[in-house]
Amino acid sequence: KQEVTQIPAALSVPEGENLVLNCSFTDSAIYNLQWFRQDPGKGLTSLLLIQSSQREQTSGRLNASLDKSSGRSTLYIAASQPGDSATYLCAVKTGGFKTIFGAGTRLFVKA
């Protein structure tokens, strides 16, 4: 059974700091891995999607990497801003339509 773990559960950093969020999964047989952002009480916004054949994806200040063989992904956020404060979720797509989410990392960026 696929399990997705995110570390740390919560993170507080000063504005401007570069930071790394971690995601690990137990079964390397995935179709893709997606990083989402969720603001309190809101829906999910897709940030980056990495296909199983890819190693990394970049969008603006965000860079996500995938090492399928070791079951790990990282989300790198450069020059963090208070507006980046949110919960970040990683999710792996397994067989069929199923997507398994991690519990998320709650990020707080202090001005």
Partner 1 sequence: DTEVTQTPKHLVMGMTNKKSLKCEQHMGHRAMYWYKQKAKKPPELMFVYSYEKLSINESVPSRFSPECPNSSLLNLHLHALQPEDSALYLCASSQTGTSGRSQETQYFGPGTRLLVL
- For binding to partner 1 (CB under 8 A), which residues are involved? 4, 31-32, 34, 36, 41-46, 49, 51-53, 89, 91, 93, 95-99, 101-104
Min dist CB 18 to partner 1, Å, is 26
Burial class (CB in 10 A: 0-12, 13-18, 19+), 10: exposed
Identity of the residue, 1 or 111, whose beta carbon is nearer to partner 1 in the bound complex: 1
Identity of the residue, 53 or 83, whose beta carbon is nearer to partner 1 in the bound complex: 53
Neighbours of 27 (CB within 10 A): 14
Min dist CB 79 to partner 1, Å, is 25
d(CA 2, CA 30): 9
